Structure formats: C-alpha cells, structure tokens
Amino acid sequence: MGFEDAFLGIASSTNGTFIFIFNIPDAQPGLHLVKAHDTFTGISTVANFTVTRIDTLGITADVGMLYFPGDIATICTLATLNGSPLNSTTLLLQLTLTRPDGSNVTLTNASIGGGVFKSA
C-alpha cells in the first residue's frame, strides 16, 4: 500500500478484498493517490484521495501585569482563523475572570476591529 510514492505497509487479501487502515502522512490539501499493488499477481490499482485543509484557530490575550484593588482589568484579545482576523459576526468570544477568592465573572466583550476584542 502506498500514499503517492510513500510506502505505507502491507495488507493481506481475503477472497480478493482487504482492509488497510493508515494515517495520512504530512500532505498538502488537494487530490492525492492511494496505491495498492499485489506482488503475487502484479495487479495494481489507484484511488483518488482528497486531503482537506485543517483550520487553525489562534487566540492571543494581553492583560496588564499589575492591578490594585478597585482597578478595572482590561483584556485585549486577538482572534484569528488560519491567520485571518475574525470579527464579532464569525466568533462568539466569552472570557471568564477568576477572582482571587475563587469566584468567577463573565466579562463583556466588544469588537474593536481587525480581530481584536476588548473585555472589561
């Protein structure tokens, strides 16, 4: 068995059929070939296999280093998908702040453009 020109392993045939499970090697999105070759009979076959893209979500949060009692914490968050900024129509961002006493508060977020959100 092969994926493009990479050898993946050997499958055993039973009554002319076989099952072969494999992990896709690192491959670019698009059409690729899965190849099977029977070394005893010389019969070969090729099947199309489509690798789809994998979306990568990036979240980066920035907050001040030091706050004093009574200060308002402001958090800026950058949200991207495959390197492109997300906006409030494509992303539901929910941040929860854990206070020193262990209680939680859900922060209010506002999109300020370019995938950047401000929370307080």
Tens of pLDDT, residue by residue, the chain (120 residues)? 888 888 888 888 888 788 888 887 678 889 999 999 888 888 888 999 898 887 889 999 998 778 788 888 789 999 999 889 988 787 888 899 888 899 998 988 889 988 999 998
Q: Please report where in the chains the tokens 């990568």 appear, as a residue.
A: 56
Write down the pLDDT at residue 104.
Answer: 93
Write down the pLDDT at residue 98.
Answer: 86
The verdict on 18 and 32 lying in the same domain is: yes
Number of domains in the chain: 2
**Close Cβ partners of 58 (under 8 Å, ≥ 6 residues apart):** 78, 79, 80, 81, 83
For the chain, give the mean pLDDT.
87
What b/e readout covers 6-19, taking b as 16+ CB neighbours within 10 angstroms?
A: eebeeeeeeeeeee
Q: Please report where in the chains the tokens 């690729």 appear, as a residue.
A: 32
Q: Please report where in the chains the tokens 């949060």 appear, as a residue.
A: 61
Domain that holds residue 100: 57-119
**Close Cβ partners of 116 (under 8 Å, ≥ 6 residues apart):** 76, 77, 78, 85
Write down the pLDDT at residue 90.
Answer: 78
The verdict on 27 and 67 lying in the same domain is: no
Task: Give the type of residue at 74.
Answer: T
Distance of alpha carbon 3 from alpha carbon 32, whole angstroms:
7
The verdict on 7 and 41 lying in the same domain is: yes
